Structure 1
């Protein structure tokens, strides 16, 4: 069957829409449940596409050109159904139903693509090029779409994309029906943008998120903003208290108000600002501005506040009449960036680097166990210490005893990298606890210089006077089991190794600050069973091919393809992790890595069809070997490039990352 441009265009539309839907679902499931559901969404999307691709092999009657438009329309309808289910209260309490519905549009996409490839097998590499290029463009488009419309409306946009693909694949006689479906989809999208008849009921979230209890207690959402980072809600608690901003239903950030100044000053986060009076302050994740208020009250001359969620800053500025315009004071500089990346690009040194909570409940913290958090790693602490003045301090407002212990371990590891022993490292640490809060809140302070006995006595006395309990004061109060570490009888590693939980310091290569289980996490153990099952299925497929062909290369071809796929995904993940701090925002890192690998894969597929076909037929292992060599070369080169060009403009950094990754992606 001849391949026409409309087939390539439809393939690209299917892939672009599927990629937009996949990314939108990662944002939506982070809101409805917790970030680890993102990985499940991605897995189910791939599973759905794989299952759809396998169906024509089981039922040959599915492989008909006149059914292609039907499959695309089914993808559009199931995307709309999924959006409706996400807005209904009952299904939200049944995540299995949501996850099952999630696979449907991807199953339809996999079915349509499989039939296209079957009907045009002679042009499979060109179709593959259209597939990957379309997916790459989808990654680029989804960011502005999310910033403009939000995750729910982007799902409706993807339904339109699937319907448009159906138009290009439909026979002439059926195009009017497809156009009618497109018109209905456009009306639904336009009506929802203007009238919001489809919206998320935040009181019906199944997850234990702070916004649910806040709304149940009489709170009211004043404003909602969606972007590629998260959904942000400005909420009035309804009890006369300060306004607060919730990011994806959690991580409540309090907005300072004149009526609540006395309460704000009793917050343990104010302690390092009030006692040390730092002149130059660097704040990571100020949210609704309370930490900036602390710095202003501490008479800081220069305040740099770095917030990755721009919606929080915009909402706070919009309410400047209530918060005293904390972000618009002449000595406050606000950066929309990743905090650690911005610090790396700064040549300044600071008297205080402050990090406050990003998760507000211990129960909610468990939902973030498998979420990467590169601001709480030993490598991050080393960056913070390197940017402190001679008498500067790092202060962390934490969540509970477990996170305090892990932060303590992380700080000791960072100090050990400076050549200090565990006993010497403890002299750089202070810890306090606010027991007046409903859930006691700890504060850890890390000094660039060791604290003297006089420092400990003075700060301990102030803490007790304002109602905080000292937990660690060098030379004054060192409680078991740290007392043995302080005298050199045991190392800190030996101390935490004896604990039931895992308190080992996270690193950039293992950035799971909230994961305290030893070994494979319990919520990953069921997924671990899929590895032997997948290996068994692959082995059975190889045996089946051997029996039918008696050809060893043909029977082992599934293993070759599977290993290529695993390597492709592994390189994507590695590239995202390595470029995140360099680019300054996780969204940019994900978008650039996915776009580059998909675009490069598409171009490489096209080249293999028209330029390198004879060579690759003779030496099929060449691409895999070349990929390994280029991956090793990129890893070595990237360490140098990222260090030397970290201070370049964002546009220049994007170009550098793209240019360095593209040869590997090809």
Structure 2
């Protein structure tokens, strides 16, 4: 096989491995640390790619096509080695509170984990630098490989834990080394493959994933008598079952209940989100169910049809059964959790996940059906209170979501939302404000007459009824609270003197805050003056757990006991990482300039095209980030959205690149302008498409979203190789630097997109993506003088 034929194959195999490794690292970070650190993987990967361009600019002798086999071998060795080294880095975000040196550990993560992507970047950038006239073919191989990797890794993670999948992924670039390398390289590749497979089979202790000791699973297993039972994996989640004295799950249990709880087993999702399975056959041991604040909806009105959203270990299903509910429907967002309980815990749990159990996002499941319920029960609680990361999207608690819940209640139906009390009050106040906005949007003029709130020492139940609460309802709520020593926070006619009696707090903050939010006259003024942002959230800005106001950071710092880790949880790690990435990017971009390696030959005007590749990097990542977020609702799961959009964009962009390689007309500036227009059309069409897709089965939704994102994706694969080909004719020495520029702006863009989305929404991010392509169009047109692309 000729070298010319080997190059696309080598690039394809290395891209398969690099994208698959990126996805796998995201899963590893979600389990070992926390979900919100997984976002760093994109920036690490793109920095590695950018660094490869800088290296090729500084050392032109590295740009030899015969080196591709060596780079592939390095990638094959670097993938497992970087995981093993990173797994030993003593970084833990909790320790940031008392160990500032943990910031250096983050930097060490960047350096170690960027090495495989640096090797992959060397393969692709060398191909562009040496064979720029074949840029369309090479970029197509790169993107098709990445798309294949994004799909293939899902199959791999369905049967292997992510820390074990790493050793399988190394086989793809090692195969590339065998294809394009010398006899000596082939022997080295085979030895590396044998070593990876040996570690995979033996699974020695040094290769096992290290989970933060402060995560729920590890904390629970440190209790005397605790025992890990079994670990289950899927492409999108890990579930561990265990027993531990730490698993005592009865949120806000009344102080009047003094009997022991029934046996419970622990469930941990990704090592941190811990809930419990309660033994359903415990007889009188289940009496405690009547002493939970979450039982409040069941003491009002009818209970013929009940919908429990995200039942997890099934506690609220048992509550519904305890109060004699007729038909109980469950919708759980984690399919693996349903499978675990159905397969291994059916008898213990009392078959809580029976025939009327479905998987997916509750509100999306509702939209596809005309069913109505007497009670909709939403209880997003684990065995202990914890706050979600501020920039984590949550589509369960937006105005549109509550509108969907209210829409599917029967005329006298009740919506119950159960929460832990996490002072200072913010989560429960935002829930209330968002629910009021949804009720007013529905035409309910006096929401205060339809709402009730009851709290215990540690949990709160917010109840909303479609019809106004009657005198009988109010009496039932009053009696429910008094008998269990709970405190009412609101019901029509409640006075301040009645609100802080049984579980007495130093001040009556909950009553006063809820009263202010319920008052149309005082609501805006109170919310504006409150130190936390508790305004309603929408689907376009679904960051329900982001409560910071820029102008009140000092007040919040004092309220939180002068502990700055709260800002880390809120998402302020993102701007901190952004600043780190900006500094690293500047170093990577300025090094070739300082060394004089980025100057074009005399008479060359290649530098005028460099902004073009920067705009393309920003535009592609802005659009990718926004489309992933906007696809979560129709696909009902963030993981499905990531996999579908990534695969759709990468595969279609790869196909578009190959198409542009053959059809010269597509390489004109007009193609870039058409992309900007298509992005805007796609953004306007997605909300309507989301509603239309809701009744369909999940496989059909995935296929249709894949096709939708493929429409702009087909054209998005053309501009970058066009720029590389033109640059290869005008100033070939600038190609590695252009690769570095594109990589640096590609890593800055997704982080910036999240920061912009928290402030302005994902629609604005999509518009900015279109604007970036428009600027790229103007730059390319100016560079070419309005003419046709040179051949």
Matched, 1:214 2:239: no
**CA, structure 1 residues 615+565, in 2 after alignment: closer, same or farther (shift >3 Å)?**
same
8 Å CA contact 2:448, 2:491 repeated in 1? no
Secondary structure (helix, strand or coil) at the match of 1:305 reads: strand
Most deviating of 368-377 and 118-127: 118-127
Q: Which runs of 5+ in 2 are unaligned?
A: 96-101, 247-261, 497-510, 551-569, 715-791
Q: Which runs of 5+ in 1 are unaligned?
A: none
Most deviating of 156-165 and 91-100: 91-100
Who is 1:337 aligned against? 360
CA drift at 1:196: 7.6
State how far apart, in whole Å, the 2-side matches of 1:214 and 1:615 are. 59
8 Å CA contact 2:301, 2:412 repeated in 1? no
State how far apart, in whole Å, the 1-side matches of 2:69 and 2:208 are. 29
8 Å CA contact 1:14, 1:162 repeated in 2? yes
Which whole-Å deviations, capped at 9, do the CAs of 1:247-285 have from their partners, x for residues lacking one?
112222221214452344433223323544521112221
8 Å CA contact 1:289, 1:316 repeated in 2? no
Most deviating of 136-145 and 162-171: 162-171
CA drift at 1:415: 1.3
8 Å CA contact 2:86, 2:113 repeated in 1? no
Most deviating of 652-661 and 543-552: 543-552
Who is 1:110 aligned against? 121
**CA, structure 1 residues 316+485, in 2 after alignment: closer, same or farther (shift >3 Å)?**
closer
Who is 1:645 aligned against? 693
The equivalent position to 2:614 in structure 1, one of 533, 541, 562, is 562
Most deviating of 3-12 and 216-225: 3-12
Which whole-Å deviations, capped at 9, do the CAs of 1:540-590 have from their partners, x for residues lacking one?
799999985798974342222221221111222222222222123322221
**CA, structure 1 residues 221+546, in 2 after alignment: closer, same or farther (shift >3 Å)?**
closer
State how far apart, in whole Å, the 2-side matches of 1:380 and 1:374 are. 7
Most deviating of 392-401 and 475-484: 475-484
**CA, structure 1 residues 59+539, in 2 after alignment: closer, same or farther (shift >3 Å)?**
closer
The equivalent position to 2:431 in structure 1, one of 394, 407, 415, is 407
8 Å CA contact 2:274, 2:384 repeated in 1? no
Who is 1:325 aligned against? 351
State how far apart, in whole Å, the 2-side matches of 1:450 and 1:276 are. 12
Most deviating of 508-517 and 126-135: 508-517
In the comparison of the two structures, how many residue pairs are matched? 645
Q: Which runs of 4 or more aligned residues in structure 1 lie more than 4 Å from their structure 2 counterparts after TM superposition?
A: 86-95, 238-241, 274-277, 358-362, 484-488, 530-553
Matched, 1:200 2:189: no
Who is 2:512 aligned against? 480
Who is 1:395 aligned against? 416
Who is 1:581 aligned against? 633
Which whole-Å deviations, capped at 9, do the CAs of 1:299-321 have from their partners, x for residues lacking one?
22222211122222222221223
CA drift at 1:530: 6.3
Who is 2:531 aligned against? 500
Who is 1:604 aligned against? 656
Who is 1:654 aligned against? 702
Who is 2:286 aligned against? 261
Who is 1:49 aligned against? 49
Matched, 1:386 2:392: no
Secondary structure (helix, strand or coil) at the match of 2:69 reads: helix
Following superposition of structure 1 onto structure 2, how do residues 341-356 of structure 1 map, counting pairs within 5 Å? 341-356=364-379
**CA, structure 1 residues 162+274, in 2 after alignment: closer, same or farther (shift >3 Å)?**
farther
Who is 1:281 aligned against? 306
Which whole-Å deviations, capped at 9, do the CAs of 1:76-126 have from their partners, x for residues lacking one?
222212332455484667652444322121111112222232232221210
The equivalent position to 1:469 in structure 2, one of 487, 493, 498, is 487
- The TM-score, its normalising length taken from structure 1, stands at 0.89
8 Å CA contact 2:8, 2:138 repeated in 1? yes
8 Å CA contact 2:452, 2:462 repeated in 1? yes
Matched, 1:522 2:522: no
Who is 1:242 aligned against? 264
8 Å CA contact 1:256, 1:264 repeated in 2? no
State how far apart, in whole Å, the 2-side matches of 1:446 and 1:558 are. 57
**CA, structure 1 residues 533+369, in 2 after alignment: closer, same or farther (shift >3 Å)?**
same
CA drift at 1:169: 2.2
- The TM-score, its normalising length taken from structure 2, stands at 0.76
8 Å CA contact 2:306, 2:375 repeated in 1? yes
Secondary structure (helix, strand or coil) at the match of 1:179 reads: helix
CA drift at 1:426: 2.1
Matched, 1:17 2:17: yes
State how far apart, in whole Å, the 2-side matches of 1:170 and 1:125 are. 24
Q: CA RMSD in A?
A: 2.9
State how far apart, in whole Å, the 2-side matches of 1:321 and 1:49 are. 52
8 Å CA contact 2:20, 2:149 repeated in 1? yes
**CA, structure 1 residues 223+626, in 2 after alignment: closer, same or farther (shift >3 Å)?**
same
CA drift at 1:391: 0.9
8 Å CA contact 1:70, 1:166 repeated in 2? yes
Which whole-Å deviations, capped at 9, do the CAs of 1:167-198 have from their partners, x for residues lacking one?
22212343223222222222322333xx8873
8 Å CA contact 1:71, 1:112 repeated in 2? yes
8 Å CA contact 1:7, 1:168 repeated in 2? no
The equivalent position to 1:124 in structure 2, one of 135, 143, 156, is 135
8 Å CA contact 1:496, 1:502 repeated in 2? yes
8 Å CA contact 1:453, 1:474 repeated in 2? no
8 Å CA contact 1:86, 1:200 repeated in 2? no
**CA, structure 1 residues 170+548, in 2 after alignment: closer, same or farther (shift >3 Å)?**
closer
State how far apart, in whole Å, the 2-side matches of 1:179 and 1:373 are. 46
**CA, structure 1 residues 200+180, in 2 after alignment: closer, same or farther (shift >3 Å)?**
closer
CA drift at 1:591: 1.2
Matched, 1:175 2:189: no
The equivalent position to 2:295 in structure 1, one of 263, 270, 273, is 270
Which whole-Å deviations, capped at 9, do the CAs of 1:391-420 have from their partners, x for residues lacking one?
111111112232111111111111121234
State how far apart, in whole Å, the 1-side matches of 2:330 and 2:670 are. 49
State how far apart, in whole Å, the 2-side matches of 1:556 and 1:538 are. 19
Who is 1:449 aligned against? 467
Which whole-Å deviations, capped at 9, do the CAs of 1:17-57 have from their partners, x for residues lacking one?
11111111111111112212111111111111211232111
State how far apart, in whole Å, the 1-side matches of 2:598 and 2:534 are. 49
8 Å CA contact 1:394, 1:447 repeated in 2? yes
Secondary structure (helix, strand or coil) at the match of 2:297 reads: helix
**CA, structure 1 residues 652+123, in 2 after alignment: closer, same or farther (shift >3 Å)?**
same
Who is 1:427 aligned against? 449
State how far apart, in whole Å, the 2-side matches of 1:546 and 1:17 are. 30
8 Å CA contact 2:297, 2:415 repeated in 1? no
Matched, 1:376 2:397: yes
8 Å CA contact 2:400, 2:538 repeated in 1? yes
State how far apart, in whole Å, the 1-side matches of 2:287 and 2:476 are. 23
Secondary structure (helix, strand or coil) at the match of 2:549 reads: coil
Secondary structure (helix, strand or coil) at the match of 2:392 reads: coil
Secondary structure (helix, strand or coil) at the match of 1:246 reads: strand
CA drift at 1:234: 0.7
Matched, 1:73 2:94: no
Who is 1:592 aligned against? 644
